[in-house]
Structure 1
Amino acid sequence: MVELVDRRSDTAPVLTNTIVEKLRSFLPQRYRLATRWSLLYSLDQHGISLTTLYRLVKNNKGPCILAIKDAEDQVFGAFLNETLKPTTHYYGTGECFLWRDTKDGLKAYSWTGMNEYMILSETEFIAIGGGAGKFGLWINGDLDRGYSASCQTFNNEPLAGEPSFNCIELEIWGFRI
């Protein structure tokens, strides 16, 4: 069982222990061993600021989990093999994947090998996956709106029910091994 740490009790959770246990089986083997996940950033706890997000996650050495809850109470996100940082080029490896929680379990969309458009995190947005002008997951700089479409990197379904979504909660988690 994973212990989720550093989230205040008055914070509305995105990741729950149930989702974490489903998500763990898709992680690279070495990260399945992490018994503690640390909350690095939360809209609820740290405010709505992409600059603050980048500042709070920069000391995380290693991968992270991005988790979003939209206005329809859908939960989805990405496993990123590197922490988020503002840059103007793609980074990350084929260990990255997109995921969404469903009634039937957790669906994960792994790297197809078609391109290497894993993570693009600029000062105005965060994008995961890409190709043919579409992103697997895109979040605007205000962290309140996003878009998800099928992309070549992950051959994913849109993670939210509709391509566009309103981001109600967002969390970034790091691993303690």
Structure 2
Amino acid sequence: MPHSASVPVTTVTDKGTDRTTSKNGLYLSHAATTSQLFAAPPLTPLTLAGYGERTKSRLLSPQLAEEIRHLVPLRLQLYDTWSLCYSLEQHGVSLTTLYSLSVPPRTTSRPGYVLIVEDKLGGIFGAYLNENPRPTKNGRYYGNGECFLWKSRIINKTPNAAFPYTGINDYMILCEPGFLSVGGGDGKYGLYLDDRFERGISNSCPAFGNEPLSECGIKFDIVGIEVWRISSA
């Protein structure tokens, strides 16, 4: 599955985080606050570890992974192996399983997570999470300004897009036993997945100022889901 990129390399650092927002592949949909310009360090190619030999549905291509890599925090860009925590095909339909498999090893320090979704039209999109997805008590949001939403455009020829934190609210990640969501505000979810992994919602939300991520529109049928961990272990 091709993921094209056609915009020039430009990298900036957001105030309050150590995330590099890169226009090398993923196009930033709105201007990020910048404190300095710098050249990205040379990085060794990524290795994607965890797909089974018989796994047919592989949502994350090496090219798309490299594009997302330039948007995650600098401390995580240096890691050259991403580990598959959960795959809908490999681990079955269970949000509980996704949560349990995403718990980081005790030896891991400050990992990051890439959530990937495929809709029935072949659209690929998702989110970067600075903490592992997990249920919280009393409907409490968590996460920080390193989080962002993204989409890979495969139907038209426009660049892939990333939607960084806007600073309007702190509604980053909200997970419960019945759903997983990223981004919120004004009663809208940037990305919402039900616990049966059948239906999802992606609407424009104040937290990320995003457009709907799915090729199907605001509501979509889920075909595939993956969660990848970026860490030292």
TM-score normalised by the shorter chain: which range applies? over 0.9
Check if 1:14 corresponds to 2:43: no
Check if 1:36 corresponds to 2:81: yes
Which consecutive unaligned segments of at least 5 residues does structure 2 have? 1-44
How far apart, CA to CA, are the structure 1 residues paired with 2:128 and 2:81?
16
Which consecutive unaligned segments of at least 5 residues does structure 1 have? none
Q: Secondary structure at 1:51's aligned position in 2?
A: helix
Confirm or deny: 8 A CA contact 1:23 1:106 kept in the other structure. Answer: no
1:61-86 deviations in Å (ceiling 9; x for gaps): 52200001110101000000000111
Give the structure with the higher percent strand. Answer: 1
| Bigger Rg, structure 1 or 2 | 2
How far apart, CA to CA, are the structure 2 residues paired with 1:45 and 1:176?
21
Shift of 1:43: 0.4
List aligned pairs for 1:72-91, cutoff 5 A. Answer: 72-87=121-136, 88-91=139-142
Shift of 1:59: 2.8
Q: Tell me the matched-pair count.
A: 177
Deviation beyond 6 Å, 4+ runs, structure 1: none
Confirm or deny: 8 A CA contact 2:112 2:231 kept in the other structure. Answer: no
Identity of aligned residues (%): 42
How far apart, CA to CA, are the structure 2 residues paired with 1:58 and 1:176?
12
Q: Which residue of 2 aligns with 1:4?
A: 48
Bigger shift: residues 90-99 or 80-89: 80-89
List aligned pairs for 1:82-161, cutoff 5 A. Answer: 82-87=131-136, 88-102=139-153, 103-161=157-215
How far apart, CA to CA, are the structure 2 residues paired with 1:33 and 1:166?
35
Q: Secondary structure at 2:75's aligned position in 1?
A: helix
Q: Which amino acid aligns with 1:9?
A: E
Shift of 1:34: 1.3
Q: Which amino acid aligns with 2:147?
A: C
Confirm or deny: 8 A CA contact 1:36 1:175 kept in the other structure. Answer: yes
1:19-57 deviations in Å (ceiling 9; x for gaps): 111111111111111100000001000000011111111
List aligned pairs for 1:40-51, cutoff 5 A. Answer: 40-51=85-96
Scaled by the length of structure 1, the TM-score of the pair is 0.96
Greater length-normalized contact order (CA 8 Å, ≥ 6 residues apart): 1
Q: Which residue of 1 aligns with 2:100?
A: 55
Q: Which residue of 1 aligns with 2:226?
A: 171
How far apart, CA to CA, are the structure 1 residues paired with 2:221 and 2:77?
30
